Amino acid sequence: MLRFTLRRLGFVLLTFLIASLLIFSLTEILPGDVATMVLGRFAAPSALQNLRAKLGLDRPVYIQYISWLSNFVIGKWGVSISTNADVLGLVMHRLRNSGMLALVGCLIYIPPGIFLGIVAAFRRNKWLDQIISMTSLAFIGLPEFVTGVILIAIFAIKLRIFPASSAIDPGASFIKILPQLILPGITIALTNLAYVIRMTRSSTVEVLQTEYVRSAYLKGLRPGYVLRKHVLKNALLPTVTIIAISIAYLIGGLIITESLFSYPGVGRLLLFAISHRDLPLIQATSMLIVLIFSVSNFFADIIYAYLDPRIRYK
């Protein structure tokens, strides 16, 4: 298991390195000049040159990349060009907000998704299975902005149960802002809920048809025992991957949902950085999102290897 873990960790580091090269290269080829955007089109050439030297833009590209990556690793993420704030503190604050929203979304869709998927598998081809399957397909087909608008119209405008805006005070506690997280949490959970239901159902049906599960039932073992010891451990393998990817997406990829509900998360921060061509903020936020996806997949691989020992011996 240790060798398997170290090998997967090596893949994470390699992914991180390749992603850093791509992100740095893409930000370098963006149209326009950073110094001109900061000082304006009518700035003096000497002022533009001094700002480029201050930002290190006058050095060779490979020196800029090595300096940027080494500073990123040790936590020196620079200063935001557009807000003049420390990038590390700004990104970590938004990461905390995205983490709270992701927690609410996970609580809404992971346990119900696994439960409904198992129920649909045990009632396959029955009316309950068909209802669960059709409902999940409907959720998959709805874009997030449509789901969000419908939820706002019903629960915020019509019933006035939850607020329509999720703008929160900086440093507010999770309990205090929980009502403002419900609607965006449901919005991001519905699509992921459908994927978890369908993946869990499909893998559970496949496992229920295996010989060892049939043998367990023929031995007279209780259905609950067979479900815990034989079915779930194998059926949840594909679901683990879906959950790992969705958790990373919930933290770093919610630009539409965060914009719709005016929620200050990592996704909106990246959109702000791109619109203002804030290179330090773009690079730091993009690298953080890559790191979140890499770590999520790393833990998914570890859980995979724990649930199925054959994987770590391949």
Tell me how far apart the alpha carbons of residues 182 and 163 are, in angstroms, rounded to a whole number: 9
What is the pLDDT, as a whole number, of residue 38? 64
Tokens 């440093």 correspond to what residue?
A: 171
Q: What is the predicted pLDDT for the residue at 142?
A: 79
* All structural domains of the chain with their residue ranges: 2-73, 87-312
Continuous segment of H or E residues that includes residue 35:
helix 34-39
89: closest CA among 81, 79, 98?
A: 79
Give pLDDT, residue 25.
86
Q: SS3 of 86, please?
A: strand
Superfamily of domain 87-312: MetI-like (1.10.3720.10)
Tell me the sheet residues that pair with 79.
Answer: 86
Mean pLDDT by 10 residues, the chain (314 residues): 80 90 82 64 73 73 87 88 88 91 91 91 87 84 85 91 87 88 90 87 86 82 79 81 80 81 90 85 90 86 75 58
What per-residue confidence (pLDDT) applies to 17?
Answer: 92
Residues 6+ apart with CB under 8 A from 42: none
Q: What does pTM read for this prediction?
A: 0.83
